[in-house]
A = this chain, B = another copy of it.
Amino acid sequence: MSCSEAYAPQLRARGYRMTPQRHAILHTLCHSGKHLTPIEVYARARKQLTSLTEPTVYRTLEFLAENGLIHSAQIGNGRFVYEVTRHAHHHLVCRHCGKELEVDHQIVEKMYQKLESFSGYKITDRHINFFGICSNCQ
């Protein structure tokens, strides 16, 4: 079984290794269907691999995000959440009720280009949370 098998070659191609820890964490994210905090990943992945530790979870999530296998986003309180990489998208989050709305990347693509040509920076973020007030809460 398992989703995370598919990721092993991606890692090996870059000189990295597929370990039981990375396997468990990817498996957890694959089957969650939503954004998870490091603590949630830790709790769930540990059911599969009891020897897993907190620092490994934090390090692995950062590592997988740097290598593009997962996406991170910062939620309102400043913490990170993660999900396996899908199509490029962002989120609108209501500061009042927490309601989330997914928006395709193409809706901000033009602004990215404007920022890039203006500044010379190449913007890397492909999973941003924009905060506001949803229509119900206004």
Chain A residues near B (Cβ < 8 Å): 74, 78-80, 92, 94-95, 101, 103, 107-108, 110-111, 114-116, 118-125, 128, 130-135, 138
Contacts and interface: CB of A to CB of B under 8 A. Distances in A.
B115 A121 contact: no
A110 B111 contact: yes
Nearest to A72: B78
A65 to B, nearest CB: 11
A4 B18 CA distance: 55
20 contacts: A74-B74, A78-B78, A94-B121, A95-B124, A101-B119, A101-B121, A103-B118, A107-B115, A108-B111, A111-B111, A115-B130, A119-B135, A121-B132, A121-B133, A121-B134, A122-B133, A124-B131, A124-B132, A124-B133, A128-B130
